């Protein structure tokens, strides 16, 4: 592996959009795949190898800052940089009235969608500034703030995207800092959507295996 190899970090790579983004980026990128589910990461590794690519599997929880700091240090020690980061990891609390929010579920929603993102950006950001090419970052908007029954998820997602927009504004005039892309995918038959729309027909939804390359192509990343 040469020093010019493109390195992509996918947080939330075990299923859905993250899984298929990782697959779509291989073999042009070496994939660093982060998720809690080891079996799903191994399946992704098989898919990537079938395309002639390589992956580093990182079965860890993004809400564990020590684990994520260790991963980022490992990326630095092995390659010294990142070319791409897609942050697809998300937790979707079941819809409920605001006065019926489950406290533990609420803490997990904020911890995964907001706190982890706020800690990851300063960890991953320096790696994105160190590569031989200008790097790219993708965040994924799903606007529901203020909608009924979306109190926890809507607020958490809005906070996450607010951080992404600030980072985007801070880097947009730099020729070296990463390009921050905030995209809104088409509705997909993912686990997150199933929690919000149980029993929904899937015929009109876009499968992540099709949506992932579409999003990457729209930004000129593949």
Alpha helices per DSSP H over the chain: 16-25, 38-50, 65-78, 103-110, 116-128, 151-171, 191-196, 208-218
Q: What domains can be seen in the chain, in order of their start residue?
A: 6-218 (3.40.50.720)
Gap between the Cα atoms of 28 and 80, Å rounded = 18
The span from the CA of 212 to the CA of 26, in Å, is 12
Here the tokens at position 116 are 């982890």
**For residues 120 and 69, what is the distance between their CA atoms, to the nearest angstrom?**
8
Q: What is the pLDDT of residue 14?
A: 95
Is residue 138 within 8 Å of 89, Cβ to Cβ? Answer: no
Q: Could you say which residues of the chain have pLDDT below 50?
A: 1-2
Q: Identify the sign of the CA torsion 185, 187, 191, 196.
A: positive
CA neighbor of 94 nearest in space, from 151, 41, 45: 151
Give residue 4's pLDDT: 75
Q: What's the confidence (pLDDT) of residue 28?
A: 96
- C-alpha 74/C-alpha 97 separation (Å) is 43
pLDDT of residue 1: 43
Q: What are the two backbone dihedrals, phi and then psi, of residue 12, each rounded to the nearest 5 degrees?
A: 95, 45
Contact 6, 83 (CB under 8 A): yes
Both tokens assigned to 108: 């997990």
What does each C-alpha distance from 67 to 32, 61, 75, 110, 122 come to in angstroms? 14, 8, 12, 19, 14
The answer to whether 25 and 84 are in contact (CB under 8 A) is yes
C-alpha 123 chain-centroid distance = 15
pLDDT tens digits, one per residue of 195-216: 899 989 999 999 999 999 999 9
Q: What are the C-alpha distances in Å from 104 to residues 108, 111, 138, 193?
A: 6, 10, 28, 20
pTM of the model: 0.96
Q: How far apart are CA 72 and CA 77, in angstroms?
A: 9
């Amino acid at each position: 592996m040469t020093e010019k190899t493109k390195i992509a970090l996918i947080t939330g790579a075990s299923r859905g959009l993250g899984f298929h983004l990782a697959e779509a980026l291989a073999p042009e990128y070496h994939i660093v795949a982060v998720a809690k589910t080891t079996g799903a990461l191994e399946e992704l590794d098989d898919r990537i190898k079938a395309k002639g690519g390589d992956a580093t599997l990182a079965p860890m929880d993004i809400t564990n800052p020590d684990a994520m700091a260790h991963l980022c240090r490992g990326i630095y020690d092995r390659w010294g940089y990142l070319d791409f980061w897609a942050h697809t990891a998300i937790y979707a609390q079941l819809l409920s009235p605001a006065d019926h929010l489950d406290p533990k579920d609420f803490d997990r929603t904020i911890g995964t969608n907001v706190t982890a993102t706020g800690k990851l950006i300063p960890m991953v950001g320096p790696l994105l500034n160190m590569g031989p090419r200008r790097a790219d970052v993708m965040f994924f908007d799903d606007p529901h703030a203020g909608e009924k029954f979306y109190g926890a998820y809507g607020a958490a997602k809005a906070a996450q995207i607010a951080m992404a927009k600030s980072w985007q504004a801070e880097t947009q005039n730099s020729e070296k800092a990463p390009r921050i892309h905030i995209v809104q995918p088409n509705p997909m038959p993912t686990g997150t959507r199933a929690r919000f729309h149980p029993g929904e027909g899937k015929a009109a939804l876009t499968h992540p295996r099709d949506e992932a390359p579409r999003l990457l192509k729209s930004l000129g990343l593949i």
